[in-house]
Structure 1
Amino acid sequence: MSEFKDWFNSIPFFTRYWLAGTLAFSLIGRFGLLNYSYFILDFYLFFNKFQIWRPITALFFYPITPGTGFHFLINCYFLYNYSQRLETSIFAGKPADYFYMLLFNWLCCVIIGFLANVMVLMDPMVLSVLYVWCQLNKDIIVSFWFGSRFKAMYLPWVLLAFNLVISGGGVMELLGIMVGHLSFFLLFKYPQEFGGPAYLTPPAFIKRLFPDTRYVGGFGTAPQVRVPTDGIPRGMFGGHNWGRGQTLGGN
Structure 2
Amino acid sequence: MANVRDWRGDELSLTSFYYSIPRVTRTWLTAATLFTLACGLGFVPFGAVLLDWDRVLRKYEIWRPLTASFLLGPLGLNFLFDLVFLYRFSKSLETGVFMGSSAEYTWMLVVIEFFLCLASMVLVPLPILGRCLMMAIMHVWSRKFPRERVHVFVFAVPAAYLSFALLAINTLLAGRLDIPGIVGVLSGHLFYFLDAIYPSLHGHQRAGITKTPSWMYRLFGERPRNQPRNQRNEITQPRSASILSQIRGHHWGTGQRLGSAEDIDS
- Which residue in 1 is equivalent to 2:241? 228
C-alpha displacement of 1:186: 1.1
Identity rate of aligned residues, in percent?
A: 26
**Which residue is equivalent to 2:160?**
153
Q: Which residue of 1 aligns with 2:132?
A: 124
Q: Write the distance in 2 (CA, Å) between the matches of 1:194 and 1:212.
A: 31
> If the length of structure 1 is used for normalisation, what is the TM-score?
0.85
CA distance in 2, matches of 1:241, 1:129: 14
Q: Distance in 2 between matches of 1:167 and 1:53?
A: 31
Contact 2:97/2:232 (8 A) holds in 1: no
**Counterparts in 2 of 1:52 and 1:241: CA distance versus 1, 3 Å:** closer
Q: Deviations over 1:41-61 (max 9, x none)?
A: 001111111111100110012
Is 2:115 the counterpart of 1:97?
no
Root-mean-square deviation (CA), in Å? Answer: 2.9
| Structure 1 segment 66-215 matched on structure 2, within 5 A | 69-115=76-122, 116-146=124-154, 148-168=155-175, 169-198=177-206, 199=208, 200-212=210-222
Matched to 2:94, the amino acid is E
Identify the residue that residue 58 of structure 2 maps to in structure 1.
48
Structure 1 residue 215, shift from structure 2 partner? 5.8
Distance in 2 separating the partners of 1:103 and 1:232: 28
- Change in CA separation of 1:144 and 1:117 when aligned onto 2, cut-off 3 Å: same
| Counterpart selection for 2:68 from 27, 42, 58 | 58
Map 1:22-41 to 2 at 5 A. Answer: 22-41=32-51
For the residues of structure 2 that align with 1:114 and 1:241, how far apart are their CA atoms? 28
Q: Secondary structure at 2:157's aligned position in 1?
A: strand
Offset of residue 77 of structure 1: 1.8
CA contact (8 A) 2:147 2:158 kept: yes
Instruction: Output one character per residue of 1:185-211: Cα deviation in whole Å (capped at 9) or x when no partner.
Output: 111111124422322111111111124
Gaps in structure 1 of 5+ consecutive residues: 247-251
Ranges in structure 2 where 5+ consecutive residues have no aligned partner: 3-12, 251-257
Measured in 1, the distance between the counterparts of 2:244 and 2:233 equals 22
Residue 213 of structure 1: how far off its partner (Å): 7.3
1:85-135 residue CA offsets vs partner (Å, 9 max, x unmatched): 000111014221111111101111112122311100012100111111100
| CA deviation profile, 1:19-74 (whole Å, cap 9, x unmatched) | 11001000000111121110100011111111111001100123315xxx233333
**Deviating more after overlay: 193-202 vs 152-161:** 193-202
CA distance in 2: counterparts of 1:106 and 1:92, whole angstroms: 21
Inter-CA distance 219–30: structure 2 relative to 1 (3 Å threshold): same
CA distance in 1, matches of 2:202, 2:262: 32
CA distance in 2, matches of 1:37, 1:80: 27
User: 1:21 corresponds to which residue?
Assistant: 31
**1:143 aligned counterpart, secondary structure:** strand
TM-score between both structures, scaled by the size of structure 2? 0.80
Q: 1:228 is matched by which residue type in structure 2?
A: A
Match of 1:249 in 2: none
Q: Residues 244 and 220 from structure 1, CA distance in 2 versus in 1: closer, same or farther, beyond 3 angstroms? A: farther
Provide the rounded CA distance (Å) in 1 between the counterparts of 2:246 and 2:150: 17
- Greater shift, 107-116 or 17-26, is seen at 107-116
